[in-house]
Amino acid sequence: MSDFVNAGWSFYITIVTLVGIACCLWLLFSQRKIAVVLNQDGSVAKDTGHVWDGDLRELNNPLPRWWMWMFALSCIFGLAYLYIFPGLGSNPGASGYSTQGELKQSLIMANSELKPVYDKYVAMSVEQVAADPQAKIMGQRLYLNNCSQCHGSDAGGAKGFPNLTDHDWLYGGASENIKETITHGRGGVMPSFSHLGDEAIINVTHYVRSLSGLSSDSIKTARGKAVFSDNCTACHGADGKGNQMLGAPNLTDKVWLYGGTQSAILETLRNGRQGMMPAQENVLSPEKIHLLTAYVWGLSNSEPQAAKK
Ligand code: HEC
Ligand code: HEC
């Protein structure tokens, strides 16, 4: 496969390459004899007449034979290489070799070697896989390669990227919820409420903070409660405990995706939030997703973690 936009480029590169080699050979051919330099008296000189530092003379010797042969062989090697391997424009080469083909071949080999290992885990439940030390190491590697850039290498999350090690779930922490999240991705849609006006938004911010016991102004909180009932309960629930079908967070706990400060909540309400968890079904095989599900499930359901709670 070539990346050229049209055949003209391939042709151009082929010409430049072949003419380049031809010029090298011509240069070699043109230098095969020593240039004749004459002395002032008409006799043939042994040097070129260039003298440095008083007595350092440049001799007029022919190019060494071995060097000429090396040069010619390099050109022949180049031509043979270009004949066998891809390199001349988009010409695939006589051998049919390609780096892409090599990669495909080694992927097939790696997959067939790994298949028995994966098959063993696919036959086990997520809970069983999570308890297997080897599966945990494999899951961690998959996690570090594919997930850590967003959720952090310790899976502790960051602003806008949920912590995967706690018991607080946007979309549910059962193994089938986690597998669904990883396979198909998730998109949380928190609409903007700037149309309600600043006063209503500030009031509801106070109410939201009161839900998790954070400091708030009592009058604004009371007014905000009405705003909340009118606008927010459809997704966050009448009690503010959220809805895992929609990924609407529980607003009554101390866990925040975007922050629980006055200004962070205001920003959420003014601009809305759209967290995107990218689907992995086209990136990772179902076997790998199974291992990852077990790894993520295990992060909050392992023994030491459970003991801490
Ligand atoms: C590009 C960034 C990104 C990558 C890469 C990513 N995630 Fe996510 N993930 C998110 C975001 C953002 C959310 C929250 C979605 C929302 O706000 O609705 C999320 C949500 C989740 C959830 C749901 C958490 C909950 O509380 O319900 C799980 C589980 C999860 N990700 C696991 C993974 C795994 C496993 C990988 C690696 C295969 C991964 N993520 C890769 C950004 C990412
Ligand atoms: C259409 C459903 C929907 C409605 C209506 C809605 N929300 Fe949300 N809200 C969400 C979703 C989904 C998220 C998570 C966004 C994400 O994952 O990126 C969210 C996130 C939030 C957050 C951020 C929580 C955190 O942990 O950082 C706050 C605060 C919030 N909503 C408050 C409100 C308030 C107040 C209202 C009413 C004025 C409201 N929401 C109305 C769906 C909704």
CATH: 1.10.760.10, 1.10.3720.10, 3.30.70.1900, 3.40.390.10. Which one for 103-187+278-308? 1.10.760.10
User: Can you tell me the mean pLDDT for 208-235?
Assistant: 96
Determine the pLDDT at residue 264.
97
Provide the b/e sequence for 141-176 (b: ≥16 CB within 10 Å).
ebbeebbeeebeeebebeeebbbbbbebbbbebebe
| Chain centroid to CA 144 | 11
pLDDT at position 151, please? 97
> Ligand 2: does its nearest atom lie under 6 Å from the Cβ of 214?
no
User: Chain-wide mean pLDDT for the chain?
Assistant: 91
Return the percentage of the chain with pLDDT > 90, whole number. 74
| Statement: residue 268 has pLDDT above 50 | yes
Contact by Cβ (8 Å): 191, 232: no
35 or 10: which leads in pLDDT: 10
Q: Is the CB of 256 within 6 Å of ligand 2?
A: yes
Rounded to two decimals, the pTM is 0.75
Residue to substitute in 170, 190, 204, 227 for testing ligand 2 pocket (most ligand atoms within 8 angstroms of CB): 190
Q: Residue 92 pLDDT more than 50? A: yes
pLDDT band at 51 (very low <50, low <70, confident <90, very high): confident
Answer whether residue 306 shows pLDDT above 60: no
Q: What's the CATH number for 194-274?
A: 1.10.760.10
Using CA atoms, how far apart are residues 146 and 153, in angstroms rounded to an integer? 10
What pLDDT does residue 103 have? 94
Residue range(s) in the chain whose domain bears CATH number 1.10.760.10: 103-187+278-308, 194-274
- Residue 180 Cα to ligand 1 middle (Å): 11
Q: What is the mean pLDDT of residues 149-156?
A: 96
CA of 227 to the centre of ligand 1 (A): 30
Look at the block and give the residue holding tokens 């006006």: 197
- State the Cα–Cα distance between residues 132 and 127, nearest whole angstrom: 9
Residue 258: pLDDT over 90: yes
Q: Ligand 2 centre from 125 Cα, in Å?
A: 34
Res 69: pLDDT: 94
